[in-house]
């Protein structure tokens, strides 16, 4: 399982590639974090791009993240919410809170729908695990890429830039907007 295996190398390479994109490298507030597991293989490996002004951890806040399916047959690019702080709630209550928050955010980012992102709460990480179910519920907007139908690197970059642009726009907007103030509270609560 150590850091000298094929999966670890793939995730290091992916992390470095995302960090080197002009949109990411040119923004001092962005931090790229990846996980394929700590001590054990992760059921759902991920790579996230965090805005340090909002959160420095995937446990809370809203951020852009690639979620890889347990079956290894695809990956979702999502604008998602941290789940850790809600995991102490009963699962149905946590999922309801995530869905309510997601609906509020979707209303503020219509351009992602125009860019082909799905706004339904319908991602499927091909897992029965409780953590995977919470990740699925955390998705605000998503785009799926099957391993047999990956678009060009240019298309992947355009999609990532669209997600990052909308995320950054949300958190750089006027602080007097009540809806955005409520969204910021999601990030810190």
What digits encode the pLDDT tens for the residues 32-59? 999 987 667 789 999 999 999 888 999 9
Identify the CA nearest to 102 among candidates 76, 120, 88, 115: 120
Percentage of the residues of the chain whose pLDDT score is greater than 90 = 59
CA atoms within 13 A on the CB side of 25: 8
- Is residue 163 within 8 Å of 79, Cβ to Cβ? yes
Q: Which of 20-29, 61-70, 114-123, 159-168 has the lowest mean pLDDT?
A: 114-123
**pLDDT reported for residue 39:** 62
DSSP 8-state secondary structure symbol assigned to residue 186? H
- Report the greatest alpha carbon distance in the chain: 49
Tokens of 97: 């809170």
The pLDDT of 13-39, averaged and rounded, is: 93
Element (H, E) at 154: helix 153-172
pLDDT of residue 115: 95
Q: How many percent of the chain have pLDDT more than 70?
A: 87
Give 136-173 pLDDT, tens digit per residue. 999 999 999 999 999 999 999 999 999 999 998 887 76
């Amino acid at each position: 399982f150590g850091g000298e295996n094929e999966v670890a190398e793939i995730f290091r390479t992916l992390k470095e590639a995302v960090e080197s994109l002009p949109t990411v490298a040119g923004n001092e507030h962005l931090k790229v974090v990846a996980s394929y597991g700590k001590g054990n293989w992760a059921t759902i490996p991920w790579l996230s791009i965090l805005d340090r002004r909002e959160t420095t951890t995937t446990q809370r806040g809203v951020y852009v993240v690639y979620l890889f399916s347990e079956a290894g047959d695809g990956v979702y690019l999502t604008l998602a919410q941290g789940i850790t702080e809600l995991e102490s709630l009963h699962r149905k209550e946590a999922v309801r809170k995530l869905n309510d928050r997601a609906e509020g955010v979707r209303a503020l980012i219509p351009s992602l729908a125009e860019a082909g992102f799905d706004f339904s709460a319908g991602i499927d990480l091909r897992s029965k695990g409780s953590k995977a179910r919470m990740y699925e519920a955390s998705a605000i907007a998503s785009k799926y890429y099957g391993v047999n139908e990956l678009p060009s690197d240019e298309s992947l970059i355009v999609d990532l830039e669209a997600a990052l642009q909308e995320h950054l726009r949300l958190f750089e907007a006027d602080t007097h907007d009540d809806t955005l103030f409520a969204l910021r509270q999601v990030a810190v609560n």
